């Protein structure tokens, strides 16, 4: 069998419906995909129309995937240049493919290769494509030529789409060079077929459909060619003519659409596609070249045309295509109002910008148009409709969620609201009086839909209207009265008032008016209120609680009813997003009310276990539950011990890598874990049972290192001995595994800060053997002696040695000497001492300088000459440190307490861990040891170890500068 026949048989297997056969075939194809001529053979099979369609489909799919993987020259196992040439030479020979799915895949394949190879390796691609289009168009009466025309235009469209996706400047310039030729050829085809369509008196549906199909494909291509191929298109004759022609055609298409018989709905769809595509053309042009758009002759006509549509059609019940056209009109107007390239500033007043502003303000957005646009937006496009109310009543949750969604580019009412915000922002002085007048007219307004729309406008304009409307008076008067209206039809106003308060609360609601706000919110959260109103109120309440001026004391009288109402709401809603939003609101209340939440915590807690069970496959909702649990633990502080039975399983599940959900829950699980440790008064078996999990996560690498170090540090401060019993050896092994080449400075510092706490909390009788057996000490020694790290990192490593030396200098000396024998460096202890003293001046914090001085002093309590020879430098260090700080009798000083806290470590709240940390530092030798006394005691010990005071004086102290010794004497007292 030939290679082609073998491949064909495997593709036949891949196209079968039997799972085992398909799996074996896929495995075989994957093994062959880097074989020479594999892709060329796939192409040959695809072009063989005598084969079964399913086999050809498999061939083109594998070929397309192979192009993605191996066509680039830099790809591993890249396709050879010879095979590429063979594939390219045949690509344009199959444009007569009759089966549309296969033709589509072939077009995609050609566009992918074009993106890689044009123009360097395929320079004649566009010329050839245009020749094919021209020839097929010239013979359009031939069915095969007609088919080739359709396929080639679609392929050309995809090629253009691929070429403009290139982001490098050189690629964009290359496209701009070929754009004029592309434009002139395709625009002729487009104009020809549109003219034929409008001139046709025929009722032949097939002909009309053909004209529309061809013109639509040409228009899709033209849209991208003009937008991306002519950076200065406002001065390019052809594109400018097309710009105007597109408007003329847009108007004709809208008229033509009305004449289509009802039974030809597919023709209506085709015409709507043209209308939508012309709108996209104008929008793309405005997005890519806003100034060029405005400067193009006829731009005012385009804007006025869409303005005319908006002014004449505001019925949201229009057919979807009409709504699409109205949205496009609104988006064009929005760009003229808010695009940064149209904003005049002191730093940006170019002549071209001034011209654009002049055109916009005088030819389109005149004061009269501005007022009219604001009026139309409020009275037509921002209004709720009966359909909204029907949806509201039948599916209140979905309706409320849709209102919060960011869908303004695709839905008419949200789009109108966005445009209104930009209109008010750019014409504040002109429109503010209009809005004030409208606000005043709402008191006795019978049209509730209009009233809702006016309230919507005032809410959207809160930041621009804050000085024009006395919102406090309005709130205490009219709005407070209206929320009491229990009429069913008034529900839209009650909802809108709650929504509007959320918009104004951070802008211009005084502290004295906050109780009125909370009264309204609690009233609208009552169980008998409509669910959509309560959901909107909950969202606004969250904004009120999250405000900078929020005061827990003023909200405290409303807290109980709020919690009860939110519990009721969360029990009624079914959508995960709704539950999550209510939970987020409750989380914020818990956080901001802090200890005030304690009496109502149980009511919240009771909600969570059933919610967790129902959210088994809803990770975002589970994450929200973890967040509120964390807030509760933090707010309840020491009282949170009662939550441990609920909290521990959640932590264990969320941080377990074997659980599928841990990817989504891990970060929130860590926060809950940390909060639980910080608020715990004492260790429990439940808490300590999680220590091995923390050590395991630390050992996995850098991903969670910083968080795990914080958690393990909390364990050490809570109960170091029991934590070490649980996983001490694994912990030290894990830390040792983290250290090494390539570790970032920040990571090294974080690890050694953790080890500093470990040394403070765990005596060497517990940890000493682990430091040696794990290789941690040897690793630190190697890093320090290599001197490749920054001084900040090196002094942090030496700080750990200082801790060990202060506790037991013999232990450290013996460990270093043993390491020196292992490394073949018998003088390692002396070398380390020399380096340590060399780096002393790189230590800046007074506390750390004292610790290093104490560590070096402890190391001098020896008879080892190689260490004692550094005594003169140590005496200088004593003088420096004793001169810097005036210690009290116990050796403490205020400067030692001025820690540079980690940004993420908030010690402002008096948690149990803050107290533990403070008590730990009070026991720190740096705070409890008078340095002068320590130095004197060390000198006495040295004298004892070295033959007495006289011998020590003659052998070692005599080598110290007498003036330095003289200046040190008064410091030692």
pLDDT in tens, 875-897: 999 988 888 777 666 766 666 66
Q: What was the pLDDT predicted at 346? A: 63
Q: What was the pLDDT predicted at 896? A: 65
Q: What was the pLDDT predicted at 532? A: 93
Q: 908: buried, middle or exposed (CB in 10 Å: 19+, 13-18, 0-12)? A: exposed
Give phi and psi for 104, each to the nearest 5: -65, -45
Mean pLDDT value across residues 259-268: 81
Q: What was the pLDDT predicted at 467? A: 85
pLDDT in tens, 206-244: 888 889 999 999 999 999 999 999 988 888 899 999 999
* Structure token pair of residue 129: 């494509």
Q: What was the pLDDT predicted at 425? A: 93
* Structure token pair of residue 250: 């847009």
CA dihedral 506, 507, 513, 516 (to 10 degrees): -60
Q: How confident is the model at residue 517 (pLDDT cuts 50, 70, 90)?
A: very high
Angle, helices 491-508/531-545, rounded to nearest 10 degrees: 10
Higher pLDDT, 773 or 312: 773
The DSSP secondary structure of 556-571, one letter per residue, reads HHHHHHHHHHHHHHHH
DSSP 166: -
Q: What was the pLDDT predicted at 319? A: 45
Distance from C-alpha of 19 to C-alpha of 681, rounded to nearest angstrom: 59
- Indicate the SS3 state at residue 960: coil
DSSP 93: T
Distance from C-alpha of 492 to C-alpha of 500, rounded to nearest angstrom: 12
* Cα atoms found within 13 Å of the Cα of residue 218, Cβ hemisphere only: 26
pLDDT in tens, 162-186: 999 988 888 889 899 999 999 999 9
**Short-list 955, 959, 925, CA closest to 942:** 955
Q: What was the pLDDT predicted at 889? A: 64
Distance from C-alpha of 905 to C-alpha of 902, rounded to nearest angstrom: 5
Q: How confident is the model at residue 900 (pLDDT cuts 50, 70, 90)?
A: very low
Mean pLDDT value across residues 860-868: 91
- Of the listed ranges 56-70, 608-622, 788-802, the one predicted with least confidence: 608-622
CA dihedral 736, 741, 742, 743 (to 10 degrees): 30
Q: What was the pLDDT predicted at 264? A: 81
pLDDT in tens, 810-848: 999 999 999 999 888 888 999 999 999 999 999 988 889
Distance from C-alpha of 17 to C-alpha of 505, rounded to nearest angstrom: 62
Alpha-carbon distances of 700 from 692, 704, 747, rounded to whole Å:
12, 8, 14
Q: Mean pLDDT, the chain, as a whole number?
A: 90
* Structure token pair of residue 580: 């999550």
Q: What was the pLDDT predicted at 258? A: 83
Residue 134 has pLDDT above 80, yes or no: yes
Percent of the chain with pLDDT over 90: 67
């Amino acid at each position: 069998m030939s290679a082609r026949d073998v491949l064909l048989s495997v593709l036949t297997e891949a196209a079968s419906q039997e799972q085992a056969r398909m799996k074996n075939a896929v495995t075989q194809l994957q093994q062959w995909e880097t074989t020479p001529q594999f892709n060329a053979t796939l192409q040959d099979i695809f072009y063989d129309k005598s084969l079964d369609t399913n086999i050809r489909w498999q061939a083109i799919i594998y070929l397309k995937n192979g192009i993605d993987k191996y066509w680039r020259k830099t790809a591993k196992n890249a396709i050879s240049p010879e095979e590429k040439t063979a594939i390219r030479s045949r690509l344009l020979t199959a444009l007569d493919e009759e089966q549309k799915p296969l033709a589509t895949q072939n077009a995609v394949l050609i566009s992918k290769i074009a993106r890689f190879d044009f123009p360097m390796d395929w320079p004649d691609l566009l010329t050839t494509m245009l020749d094919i289009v021209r020839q097929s168009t010239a013979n359009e009466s031939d069915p095969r030529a007609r088919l080739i025309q359709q396929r080639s235009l679609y392929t050309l469209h995809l090629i253009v789409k691929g070429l403009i996706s290139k982001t490098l400047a050189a690629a964009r310039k290359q496209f701009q060079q070929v754009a004029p030729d592309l434009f002139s050829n395709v625009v002729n085809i487009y104009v020809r077929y549109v003219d034929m369509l409008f001139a046709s008196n025929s009722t032949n549906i097939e002909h009309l459909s053909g004209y529309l199909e061809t013109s639509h494909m040409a228009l899709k291509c033209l849209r991208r060619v003009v937008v991306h191929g002519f950076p200065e298109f406002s001065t390019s004759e052809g594109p400018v003519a097309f710009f105007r022609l597109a408007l003329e055609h847009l108007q004709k298409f809208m008229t033509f659409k009305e004449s289509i018989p009802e039974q030809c709905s597919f023709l209506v769809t085709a015409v709507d596609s043209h209308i939508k595509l012309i709108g996209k053309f104008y929008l793309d042009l405005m997005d890519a070249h806003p100034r060029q758009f405005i400067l193009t002759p006829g731009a005012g006509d385009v804007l006025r045309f869409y303005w005319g549509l908006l002014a004449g059609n505001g019925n949201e019940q229009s057919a979807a295509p009409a709504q699409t056209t109205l949205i496009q009109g609104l988006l064009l107007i929005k760009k003229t109002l808010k695009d940064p390239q149209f904003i005049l500033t002191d730093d940006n007043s170019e002549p071209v910008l001034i011209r654009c502003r002049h055109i916009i303000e005088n030819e389109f957005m005149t004061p009269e148009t501005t007022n009219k646009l604001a009026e139309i937006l409020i009275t037509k496009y921002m209004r709720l409709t009966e359909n909204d109310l029907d949806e509201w009543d039948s599916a209140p949750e979905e309706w409320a969620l849709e209102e919060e969604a960011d869908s303004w580019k695709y839905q008419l009412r949200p789009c109108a609201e966005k445009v209104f915000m930009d209109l008010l922002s750019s014409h504040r002085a002109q429109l503010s009086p209009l809005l004030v007048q409208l606000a005043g007219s709402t008191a006795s307004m019978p049209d509730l839909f209009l009233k809702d729309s006016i309230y919507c406008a005032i809410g959207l304009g809160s930041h621009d209207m804050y000085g024009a409307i006395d919102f406090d008076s309005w709130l205490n008067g009219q709005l407070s009265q209206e929320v009491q209206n229990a009429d069913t039809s008034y529900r839209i106003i009650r909802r809108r008032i709650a929504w509007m308060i959320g918009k104004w609360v951070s802008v211009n609601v005084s502290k004295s008016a906050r109780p009125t706000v909370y009264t309204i919110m609690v009233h609208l959260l009552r169980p008998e209120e409509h669910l959509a109103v309560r959901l909107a109120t909950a969202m606004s309440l969250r904004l009120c609680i999250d405000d900078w001026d929020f005061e827990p004391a003023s909200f405290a009288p409303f807290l109980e009813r709020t919690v009860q109402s939110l519990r009721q709401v969360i029990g009624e809603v079914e959508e995960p997003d709704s539950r999550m939003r209510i939970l987020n609101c409750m989380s914020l209340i818990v956080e901001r009310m802090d200890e005030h939440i304690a009496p109502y915590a149980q009511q919240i807690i009771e909600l969570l276990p059933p919610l967790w069970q129902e959210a088994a496959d809803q990770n975002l909702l589970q994450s929200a539950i973890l967040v509120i649990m964390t807030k509760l633990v933090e707010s309840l502080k020491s009282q949170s011990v009662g939550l441990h039975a609920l909290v521990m399983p959640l932590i264990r599940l969320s941080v377990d890598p074997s659980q599928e959900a841990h990817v989504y829950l891990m970060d929130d699980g860590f926060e809950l874990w940390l909060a639980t440790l910080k608020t715990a008064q004492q260790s429990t078996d439940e808490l300590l049972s999680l220590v091995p999990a923390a050590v395991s996560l630390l050992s996995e690498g850098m991903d969670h290192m910083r968080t795990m170090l914080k958690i393990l540090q909390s364990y050490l401060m809570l109960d170091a001995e029991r934590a070490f019993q649980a996983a001490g050896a694994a912990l030290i092994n894990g830390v040792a595994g983290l250290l090494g080449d390539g570790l970032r400075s920040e990571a090294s510092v974080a690890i050694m800060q953790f080890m500093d706490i470990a040394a403070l909390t765990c005596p060497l009788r517990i940890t000493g053997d682990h430091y040696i057996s794990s290789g941690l000490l040897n690793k630190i020694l190697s890093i320090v002696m290599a001197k490749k790290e920054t001084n900040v990192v090196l002094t942090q490593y030496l700080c750990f040695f200082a801790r060990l030396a202060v506790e037991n200098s013999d232990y450290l000396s013996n460990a270093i000497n043993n390491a020196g024998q292992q490394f073949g460096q018998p003088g390692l202890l002396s070398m380390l001492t020399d380096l340590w003293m060399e780096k002393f001046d790189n230590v800046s914090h007074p506390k750390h300088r004292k610790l290093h001085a104490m560590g070096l002093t402890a190391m001098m309590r020896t008879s080892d000459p190689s260490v004692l020879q550094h005594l003169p430098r140590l005496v200088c260090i004593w003088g420096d440190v004793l001169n810097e700080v005036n210690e009290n009798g116990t050796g403490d000083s205020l400067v030692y307490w001025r820690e540079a806290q980690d940004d993420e470590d908030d010690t402002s709240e008096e948690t149990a861990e803050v107290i533990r940390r403070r008590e730990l530092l009070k026991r720190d030798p740096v705070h409890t040891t008078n340095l002068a006394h320590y130095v004197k005691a060390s000198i006495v010990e040295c004298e004892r170890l070295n033959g007495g005071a006289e011998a020590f004086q003659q052998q070692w102290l005599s080598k110290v500068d007498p003036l330095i010794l003289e200046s040190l004497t008064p410091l030692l007292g």
